[in-house]
Structure 1
């Protein structure tokens, strides 16, 4: 994958992928975000194939990032409660 495609995907995920609370919401949000990412990548001249060649299924990647964000949020909330 080109450096341009990598930079686009990293920036896009950082901007769009935020914590979700349930697995059902994560799956739905990942599907929506994957479609949005593909459309925005195409607008800037990055074929979806270039991204998928490097990372595989972008929906799965986004879902993974959403799950990580949810876990981090849960840990932060638990730490805050423990500190009280």
Structure 2
């Protein structure tokens, strides 16, 4: 197992996943992000198999990242209100 998959995914999520993409239609957004992510990975020579060996299901990883971004935004908004 190499770290290529996890390194790619972490960088891709940082650059592409934002809480603003969450909400209505989020499953469609997960599907679109997954396709975009795998296309970019292929262009960089990282296979889906490498990614899934490192992180598991790509769509699930992206969904978790979207959830985390939404939680972070909520936390940030509530901290600003104080």
Scaled to the shorter chain, the TM-score interval is 0.7 to 0.9
Stretches of structure 1 lacking an aligned partner (at least 5 in a row): none
Partner of 1:19: 19
TM-score under structure 2 normalisation?
0.85
Which structure has more relative contact order (CA 8 Å, sep 6+)? It is 2
Greater Cα radius of gyration, structure 1 or 2:
1
Inter-partner Cα distance in structure 1 for 2:80 and 2:31:
31
1:20-69 per-residue CA deviation (whole Å, 9 max, x = no partner) reads 342x4332221111111111111111110110122111111101110111
**Aligned Cα RMSD in Å?**
1.5
TM-score under structure 1 normalisation?
0.83
Partner of 1:33: 33
Stretches of structure 2 lacking an aligned partner (at least 5 in a row): none
